[in-house]
Amino acid sequence: MQVLWRKFRQQAILWREVVLPGVLIVGFVVLARLMGLLQVQEWMALDSSSRLCPAVTSESQVVIVGIDEANLRAVGEFPVSDEKLARVLTILSEHHPSAIGLDLYRDAPVAPGRDLLVRAFQTIPNIVGVETVLNSQDSMNMRPPAQLPPDRVGFTDVIVDNDGKLRRIILSSPVAASNSSQSNSSQSNSSQMKYSFAFRLVQRSLAAGIDFKSSTDRLDSIQLQRFQPNSGSYIQANASGNQRMLNFCASQKLFRNLSITDVLQRNFRPEWVRDRILVIGMAASSVKDIFFTSALRETLSSRTSGNPFPATQLIYGAEVQAYGADQLMREVLEQRSALRFWADGWEYLWIIGWGCLGIALGLVLQSPWKSLLNIVMAIACLMIICFLGLLMGWWIPVVPSGIALGGAGLVTAFFDRDLRFELVQRRKTIERTYESVHNGPLQHLAVILRELGEDSSLRLRQELQSLNQELRNIFEHMREEALTRSDRFYLNDNRILDLQAPIAELLYQVYDHTLKLEAPGFTEIQTYIPPDFDMLKTHHFNTEQKRGLCLFLQEALWNVGKHAMGTTRLDVMCIAEGETYVLRITDNGLGSDSTHEGQGTRQAKAIARELGGYYRRYPNSLQGTSCELMFPIKRNWLKRLYQTK
């Protein structure tokens, strides 16, 4: 079990360097989405997916009676007179539509025939007029016909997204009394609830048998999902009033379209309008009652322009109201839900999950090209899943998920490749070094051992055999460490320290083990000052810094053992002087020249630079040598803040 745990830990250390860049990519994607940097891309993905949805097979309950350029030329007037509108309303009402929506502003007479239009308003009970009420300046709002009561009037105000595209409708909104179209009526409150034109049409179509409770977001027995500032891919969007997303995926079919000349000439079948919602409005680009969308394959504008499938479509205001009414009718009659979204937490968990999949692919496949191929396949699966979710009425994040999957997967794959290449190069370097040492010094050492006679010194023979085995063990250790990149420190005698352990524990083990070795400088020591490394526990060291401290202590003690002859006192002190740690090893023996700079001195200076400090070696005033490693104290900032209070 310990062997398995050690292998798992070694692999985890190896993966840590590879996984971290992928995790950072996923974090950047999440941060970018939180900042709203991916909104437009997600809107475009939603629109593109909606265009691919199949056309609905069921017949819509909504019919558009459009007034296009040809109608304007045929009637010879603009705007269309009250007389002709009255005739259109009368003819249509003869065939018993469920509701007639007049998406034309008629707050002022358009002669001739005002009395005929007024009579139509009064005698046809299912006519619904329009107004605009959500402009902050009341002078910019349009009043409805005065003859229509408030429950037969709906507003046509809409909200467009920052890219200029239409994706939302407003069902209801509180409006200040000063902005109300019924300003001549007494108002008991400072604001009143206004309802949209599409909602009023649905309400009238169902013969007032539908009730909308704004406080609970219920439309009769249907629970409506209110649009929130962070719904779907939106970040801090304007969610005033009761808004809903338009599910164009479920509406990929043109509405039946009649022209007013068809109606005036009675050139239509009665069943086309019977029990239907009729929306009478402008279908002419010159009137400028238009919006933009990329979510529909075809609109009335594209059909008449001869360009059937442009990427960005013009959609008339009457069509917008028709889509809103059609969506509400399908929810009530067919129990079909509109576009829904996950909670924010689930969406970000979804994104992170796909990023983790990319990281896993980069780790397991161990090849950038294999990873690229599998990531492309995974992104294709992601797009299919999100598209199927859209068909079921769910808007699932695809753009940030795809970026997290692809970015994290590729970064992990390339980092993994580079790391494995580095490990291979290290292994080859160590193998070549070992081959050179084996074929040279080790072979020479083997010859010396063979040539030693039986009468040779037993101690010398044991020392040479120990040296031979220790050299071989070092290379075995280096080979294993190069393959696993494990954080370990090799002492000797096959003793290995785990550099993940606390620094104080590591230094104690180095101190204890080194002094137990047989060396001339250790034989006469009579007095020790035992070290106290516990103060270093408050300092955070990385593995390389721990390795350097252990190496410095080992080298300094071993120098005493090899060179400081006649040493009777050894002091190893770890103290704090101001804002500096001092690790000092002092002896009183007869050592070599302290001014000589060998490999050990160069090594100690490199360790000091790694710790941000400096190293010095100097003779004592009486006898002996001192080695000092000094580096600054870096406390945890939370502990430092606590200590200052």
Residue 534: other Cβ atoms inside 10 A: 14
pLDDT, mean of residues 501-515: 90
- CB count within 10 Å of CB 457 equals 10
Distance CA 108, CA 114 (A): 9
Token reading at 482? 């190069």
Pairing between β-strand 168-176 and β-strand 242-245 as defined by DSSP bridges: antiparallel
Q: Are 86 and 280 in contact (CB under 8 A)?
A: no
Question: Side chain identity at 135, as an amino acid letter?
Answer: N
DSSP 315: E
> Considering the chain, what is the average pLDDT of its residues?
82
Report yes or no: 193 and 177 within 8 Å, Cβ to Cβ: no
The structural domain count of the chain equals 3
Q: Which tens digits make up the pLDDT trace of 414-449?
A: 887 776 666 667 666 666 666 666 555 666 666 666
Let me know whether 289 and 236 are in one domain: yes
Residues 524 and 593 in one domain: yes
pLDDT at position 170 is 92
Looking at the structure, do residues 12 and 140 belong to the same domain, yes or no?
A: no
Tell me the C-alpha to C-alpha distance, in Å, between residue 237 and each of 151, 161, 162, 233, 534.
Answer: 30, 9, 10, 10, 55
- Please check whether residues 72 and 98 belong to one and the same domain: yes
- Is residue 38 within 8 A of residue 356, CB to CB? The reply is no
Pairing of strands 62-67, 277-282: parallel
Which residue among 486, 511, 535 closes a domain?
A: 486
The counts of H helices and E strands in the chain are: 18, 23
User: Which tens digit of pLDDT belongs to each residue from 308-351?
Assistant: 667 788 899 999 999 999 998 888 887 766 788 999 999 999 99
Strand order in the sheet with 212-213: 212-213, 218-219, 222-223
For residues 524 and 484, is the Cβ–Cβ distance under 8 A? no
Quick one: pLDDT at residue 87? 95
Residue 295 sits in the same domain as residue 355: no
Of residues 168, 134, 131, the one with CA closest to residue 151: 131
Q: Which tens digit of pLDDT belongs to each residue from 137-181?
A: 888 889 999 999 999 999 999 999 999 999 999 998 988 765 544
> Among the three residues 333, 356, 374, which one is the final residue of a domain in this structure?
333
pLDDT above 70 (res 1): no
Q: Are residues 476 and 574 both part of a single domain?
A: no
**Alpha-carbon distances, residue 531 vs 148, 155, 544, 570 (angstroms):** 96, 84, 22, 10
CA torsion angle 386 389 395 401 (round to 10): -20
Asked whether residue 128 falls in the same domain as residue 8, the answer is no
- Residue 157: what pLDDT? 93
Q: With 60 as the cut, is the pLDDT of residue 359 above it?
A: yes
- Domain boundary residue among 333, 360, 387? 333
Confidence of residue 2 (pLDDT cuts 50, 70, 90): low
Is 5's pLDDT higher than 70? no
CATH of the domain at 562: 3.30.565.10
More confident residue, 299 or 463: 299
Are 175 and 214 within one domain?
A: yes
Structural domain including 474 reads 1-51+341-486
Q: Where are the beta strands (DSSP E) in 466-563?
A: 488-490, 496-498, 527-529
pLDDT of res. 489: 77
Check whether residue 16 and residue 108 sit in a common domain. Answer: no
Whether residues 47 and 94 fall in one domain: no
Contacts of 253 (CB under 8 A, 6+ apart): 55, 56, 60
Residue 191 phi, psi dihedral angles, 5° rounding:
-145, 160
Concatenate the DSSP letters of all residues of 251-314 into one string.
G-SPPEEEEHHHHHTT-S-GGGTTT-EEEEEE--GGG--EEEESS-S--HHHHHHT--S-SSEE
Same domain, 327 and 370: no
Both structure tokens of 347: 């969406």
- 616 exposed, middle or buried (CB, 10 Å; 0-12, 13-18, 19+)? middle
DSSP 54: P
Q: Which pLDDT tens digit goes with each residue over 233-281?
A: 999 999 988 898 999 998 888 899 999 999 999 999 999 999 999 999 9
Cα 140-142-143 angle, rounded to 5 deg:
135
Compute the distance between CA of residue 145 and CA of residue 118 in angstroms, rounded to an integer: 9
Query: Please, is 624 exposed, middle or buried when counting C-beta atoms within 10 Å of its C-beta (0-12, 13-18, 19+)?
Result: buried
Given a cut of 50, whether residue 643 has pLDDT beyond it is no
**Quick one: pLDDT at residue 181?**
45
Cα distances (angstroms) measured from residue 397 to each of 27, 382, 385, 387, 565: 16, 10, 10, 10, 74
Q: How far apart are CA 329 and CA 58, in angstroms?
A: 12
Share of the chain above pLDDT 70, in %: 77
- Residues contacting 2, CB < 8 A, separation 6+: none
Same domain flag for 508 and 627: yes
Q: Which two tokens stand for residue 460?
A: 């010398």
pLDDT bin (cut points 50, 70, 90) of residue 183 is very low
